[in-house]
Structure 1
Amino acid sequence: MFFRSLLLPVCLVLWAALPARAQKPDTTLIRYSGQLAGQYSAGGVNRALFSTSHSATLLRGLHFGAPLTGSFLYGKQDGRLREREWVFNATPYYWKGRFRFYGIGGYERSNLRGINNRFQLGLGPGWAFYSDSLGREVAVSNLLIREATYFQGGTERRVSRSSTRLKVVYSYRVFSLNSTTLYQPNLANTADYRATQLTTLALRLSSRFAITGTYTYTFESRVLEGKPTDNTNVTVGVAFSTK
């Protein structure tokens, strides 16, 4: 009788636990964000710059993600086309705790730097020094990438690079900061390197809309003759995102 009296409560506890097990995170989520920004200046140099960037991140369960990002930039100086650039990247990753493992596939085209086509493939580990449920994060990764660049004029170049990335994501009330720093030296010659800094500060107006200010800096030690080695842009715009 004693065991029979325990049978019903035990069955009820097990039955109550079943939904919790069935709700084990195994869902697919898609998060999207898009940004439109621009800059205009007149005086010594008349300059107009327009940029748009978009990202869609597919999250599967607790350990897999696949961000897809793309951006387009168009700029004129004194009425002449100077900047026209496309960049696309896919960076699928696996994470467990603070450990990350990334893959990357990238494409780039830049009128300013004389690049007709650039392709990248790579993979490597990463580590999150800090992360929380609000999406704030400080993380470092290092990937080995193989790069093929086809320049204007018909020349081409293939190199292997180390790609070190520092990513900082922070938010406080209606403000958020997203910063990515890349350092990519040639494995055969460290004097040949590329560095990129992208920082966006956003003031959130609602759960979906924000006003943004973006700072972008790129440096490439080896470029076509007559092309600039670095470029800096500061733009202000609006952003839309989903949760």
Structure 2
Amino acid sequence: MRFPYFLLLLYLLFARPAHAQRPDTTIIRYAGQLTGQYTSGGVNRTLLTTTHNVTFLRGKHFGAPVNGSFSYGKQEKLLKEREFLFNATPYYWKGHFRAYGIGGYERSNLRGITGRVQLGLGPGWAFYSDSLGREVSLSNLFIREATYFQDGSDRTVSRSSLRLKLVYSYGVFSLNSTTFYLPNLSGFADYRVNQLSTLALRFTPRFTITANYTYTFESRVLEGKPNDNTNLTVGVAFSTK
């Protein structure tokens, strides 16, 4: 009777590693926000913004965030802001290293842009990251950008896109901040700066109250259009895990 027990022992020794291997899985995460602002008195202003983020995670090294936002704003009952932004940033990571790609599309009534298309790629480095999603990372992408303006003109440039990303959470509070600096590689006097910060207070695992701060500066715009724009809005967000 000892022989069958020996065979059983061999089976357990060689079978366990096969069961311990985890197959690659695909995870999809969604987060959506709706924020708004209303002011009256010296300036009558209404602004509504909705943002949607879908992240696809495959296995241990691949991800593909897809982001879209739409803003609609009036001042003195006249349409001033109608902004649309969509971008996808697939990436590969291993340890602290990141490799990013980017594809984006943008429209902006405020800056007189009927269409802007971006394609690019570049490296990144995560100085800190943990299992809670907290992160400090820096990346630099090289992009090709074509912009079409409302007056019929257009321009195509190559840019460097330097991005600093900060993600922090403590208890029910979380902060997500991303800052972009995009100079024209043929002339650094032509540049853009974008900054987005979101402070969230989580009431349930899926619902949060959010405060969003956005800032955009563009050195070259159509005549009569503002170079910069700042928005501060408060709203609610829904997310899945």
Query: Which letter does structure 1 place at the counterpart of 2:10?
Result: V
2: CA distance between counterparts of 1:13 and 1:176? 45
The one-letter amino acid paired with 2:105 is Y
Q: Which residue of 2 aligns with 1:124?
A: 122
Q: Tell me the alpha carbon deviations over residues 80-125 of structure 1, each in whole angstroms, 9 at most, x when there is no partner.
A: 1100000000111111111100000000000000000000000000
How far apart are 1:11 and its partner, in Å?
2.1
- C-alpha displacement at 1:50, in angstroms? 0.3
Correspondence for 2:40: 42
Q: Compare 44-53 and 2-11 and name the one that shifted more.
A: 2-11
* Cα distance in 2 for residues equivalent to 1:69 and 1:14: 45
Partner in structure 1 of residue 217 of structure 2: 219
- Deviation (angstroms), 1:12: 1.1
TM-score relative to the length of structure 1? 0.96
Structure 1 stretches of at least 4 aligned residues deviating more than 4 Å after TM superposition = 2-7
Aligned residues: 241
Task: Name the structure 2 match of 1:157.
Answer: 155
SS at match of 1:9: helix
- Distance in 1, matches of 2:25 and 2:222, equals 47
C-alpha deviations, 1:46-71, integer Å up to 9, x for none?
00000000010111101111111000
Matches of 1:122 and 1:81, distance apart in 2:
33
Is residue 110 of structure 2 the alignment partner of residue 112 of structure 1?
yes
Residue type of the partner of 1:56? Answer: V
Identity %: 71
Q: Report the Cα distance in structure 1 between the residues aligned to 2:51 and 2:170, rounded to whole angstroms.
A: 23
- Determine the structure 1 residue equivalent to 2:16: 16
Which residue of 2 is the match for residue 200 of structure 1?
198
Q: Could you tell me which amino acid in structure 2 is paired with residue 16 of structure 1?
A: R
Q: Where does residue 189 of structure 1 map in the other structure? A: 187
* SS of the residue 1:178 aligns to: strand
Aligned-partner residue type, residue 13 of structure 1: L
Q: Give the secondary structure class of the aligned counterpart of 1:17.
A: helix
1:30 corresponding residue in structure 2: 28
In the alignment, what sits opposite 2:93?
Answer: 95
Tell me, in whole angstroms, the C-alpha distance in 2 between the residues paired with 1:86 and 1:34: 15
In 1: Cα distance, 2:4 partner to 2:30 partner: 54
Counterpart in the other structure of 1:240 = 238
Structure 2 equivalent of residue 168 of structure 1: 166
User: Distance in 2 between the 1:218 and 1:72 partners?
Assistant: 15
Q: Distance in 2 between matches of 1:155 and 1:16?
A: 66
For 1:96, give the aligned amino acid.
K
Which of 62, 67, 70 pairs up with 2:68?
A: 70
Distance (whole Å) between structure 2 residues aligned to residue 211 and residue 224 of structure 1? 36
Match of 1:179 in 2: 177
**Normalised by the size of structure 2, how large is the TM-score?**
0.97
Q: Does the residue aligned with 2:14 lie in a helix, a strand or coil? A: helix
Secondary structure of the structure 1 residue equivalent to 2:12? helix
Residue by residue, what CA displacement relative to the aligned partner does 1:201-239 show, whole Å, maximum 9, x if unpaired?
A: 000010100000000000000000000000000000000
Paired with 1:7 and 1:189, the residues of 2 have a C-alpha distance of: 74
- Amino acid aligned to 2:15: W
What is the Cα deviation at residue 13 of structure 1?
2.3
- Give the superposition deviation at 1:6: 5.3
Q: Pick which of 41-50 and 2-11 moved more.
A: 2-11
Query: How much does 1:7 deviate?
Result: 4.8
Separation of aligned partners in 2, 1:162 and 1:187: 7
RMSD: 1.5
